[in-house]
Amino acid sequence: CLRYVASPPANVTDGPRATEPCHDGWDYDRSVYVSTIVTEWDLVCGYRQLRQMAQSIYMAGVLVGALVLGGLSDRFGRKAMLMWSYLQLGVMGTCTAFAPNYASYCVFRFAGGMALSGFGLSIACLVVEWIPTPYRAITVAITGFAYTLGQIILAGVAYAVPHWRWLQLSVSLPFFVFLLYSWWLAESARWLVLSGKAERAVKVLQRVATFNNRKEEGEKITVEMLKSNMKEELAALKSSYTVSDLVRTPVIRHIFFCLSIVWFSTSFAYYGLAMDLQNFEFDIYVVQLIFGAVDIPAKLMSILTITYVGRRFTQAAALILAGLAILANILVPRDLRTLRTALAVFGKGCLAASFNCVFLYTGELYPTVIRQTGMGMANTMSRLGSIMAPLVKMVGELFPALPFLIYGAAPVVSGLVAAFLPETRNTALPETVEEVEGRWGWR
**Cα dihedral value 251, 437, 198, 239, nearest 10:** -80
Q: Which residue has the higher pLDDT, 209 or 408?
A: 408
Instruction: Assign 8 a pLDDT band (cuts: 50, 70, 90).
Output: low
Whether residue 67 is predicted with pLDDT greater than 80 in this model: the reply is no
Average of per-residue pLDDT values in the chain: 82
The CA-atom distances, in angstroms, between 207 and each of 82, 105, 123, 186, 200 are: 20, 43, 20, 9, 11
What are the b/e assignments for 74-93, b being 16+ CB within 10 Å? beebbbebbbbbbbbbbbbb
Length of the chain: 443
Amino acid at residue number 65: G
pLDDT tens readout for residues 340-373? 888 988 999 999 899 889 988 998 899 877 887 8
**One domain for residues 193 and 288:** no
Residue 130 pLDDT exceeds 60: yes
Higher per-residue confidence, 247 vs 140: 247
Identify the domain boundary among 166, 196, 229.
229
pLDDT for res 122:
83
In whole angstroms, what is the distance from residue 31 CA to residue 29 CA? 6
Q: Rounded mean pLDDT of 161-173?
A: 90
Cβ contacts of 8 within 8 Å, gap of 6 or more:
17, 18
What CATH code is carried by the domain that includes residue 291? 1.20.1250.20
Predicted pLDDT at 268: 92
pLDDT at position 14 = 57
Same domain membership, residue 290 and residue 265: yes
Helix (H, G, I), strand (E, B) or coil at 145: helix
Question: How much is the pLDDT for 243?
Answer: 80
Query: What percentage of the chain reaches a pLDDT higher than 70?
Result: 88
Q: How much is the pLDDT for 303?
A: 85
pLDDT at residue 1, rounded to an integer: 64
pLDDT at 116 over 80: yes
With respect to residue 17, please indicate whether it lies within any of the assigned structural domains: no
The stretch 398-413 carries a mean pLDDT of 88
**How many structural domains are present in the chain?**
2
The residue from 197, 229, 261 where one domain ends is 229
Q: For residues 36-53, give the mean pLDDT.
A: 77
Give the pLDDT band of residue 260 (cuts 50, 70, 90): very high
Confidence of residue 16 (pLDDT cuts 50, 70, 90): low
What is the pLDDT averaged over residues 270-280?
Answer: 74
Confidence check: pLDDT of 177 > 60: yes
Are 257 and 367 members of one domain? yes
pLDDT bucket at 279, cuts 50 / 70 / 90:
low
Q: How confident is the model at residue 281 (pLDDT cuts 50, 70, 90)?
A: low
Nearest Cα residue to 171 out of 153, 187, 148, 185: 153
- Does this model's pTM top 0.85? no
Mean pLDDT of 224-253: 75
Instruction: Please give the average per-residue pLDDT across 10-32, as a whole number.
Output: 65
Same structural domain, 200 and 279: no
Quick one: 192 and 254 in the same domain?
A: no
Q: Return the higher-pLDDT residue of 226 and 412.
A: 412
Angle of CA points 389, 394, 397, to nearest 5°: 140
Whose CA is closest to 190, among 437, 430, 436?
A: 430
Q: What is the pLDDT of residue 155?
A: 83
Q: Are residues 158 and 199 in the same domain?
A: no
How many Cβ atoms sit within 10 Å of the Cβ of residue 373?
Answer: 20
Give dist(CA 325, CA 322) in Å, integer. 5
- Residues 78 and 89 placed together within one structural domain of the fold: yes
CA–CA separation, 223 vs 203, rounded Å? 10
Cα–Cα distance measured from residue 176 to residue 225, given in angstroms and rounded to the nearest whole number = 38
d(CA 296, CA 8): 61
Contacts of 119 (CB under 8 A, 6+ apart): 82, 85, 86, 89
Confidence of residue 443 (pLDDT cuts 50, 70, 90): very low
Q: Please determine, for residue 259, whether its predicted confidence score (pLDDT) is greater than 50.
A: yes
- Same structural domain, 168 and 195: no
Host domain of residue 305: 37-185+230-440
Report pLDDT for 142.
Answer: 79
180 with 192, same domain: the answer is: no
Residue 4 lies in a domain: no
- Which amino acid belongs to residue 281? E
CB 120 within 8 A of CB 378: no
| DSSP-derived 3-state class of residue 163 | strand
pLDDT over 50 (residue 287): yes
- Phi/psi of residue 100, each to 5°? -80, -20
